[in-house]
Amino acid sequence: MLKAECGGAWQCYFQRGNWRVVFPFSRHQQEQVASKLQDEVQQRAIAVVHLVRFPQLSINHAVLMFEAKANPSEIQFLTYDPNEPDKPTVITFDRASRTFSLPPNAYFQGGRVDVYPIYDRLMY
């Protein structure tokens, strides 16, 4: 009954806070986001980010990034996912393809996601 009253998954995209998802995510823009997020978490900030695949409706989720481990080919962001609170999730940014990826889990089949920050900076 609750599920029927809440409506379909597509409805969560049409809320005021999700306005950013309607604009295309370029690979250049995602590269800039990865760099900014890496800088933030290395300065003891927590980054609250939105994961999407618009216009696909396969994911629409917020997580907290709290650590970044970089090497020449990728940046691995250790992330708190409220849907899987027992262990950090690793979201990887591949420098060559300039894409973020999320591993498979209970709510997402895994693969490319587009990422954008929700808040500018939260210090801890």
**From its phi and psi, is residue 68 left (phi > 0), alpha (psi between -120 and 50) or beta?**
beta
| Residues of the chain above pLDDT 70, percent | 72
The reported pTM is 0.78
* pLDDT attached to residue 13: 47
Contacts 24+ apart (CB under 8 A), 76-80: 77/37, 77/38, 77/41
Look up residue 54 and give its DSSP letter.
T
Domain residue ranges in the chain: 25-123
* pLDDT attached to residue 103: 95
Interval 35-52: pLDDT, tens: 999 999 999 889 999 898
Do 107 and 61 touch, CB atoms closer than 8 A? yes
Q: Where are the beta strands (DSSP E) in the chain?
A: 45-52, 60-70, 74-80, 89-94, 99-102, 111-117, 122-123
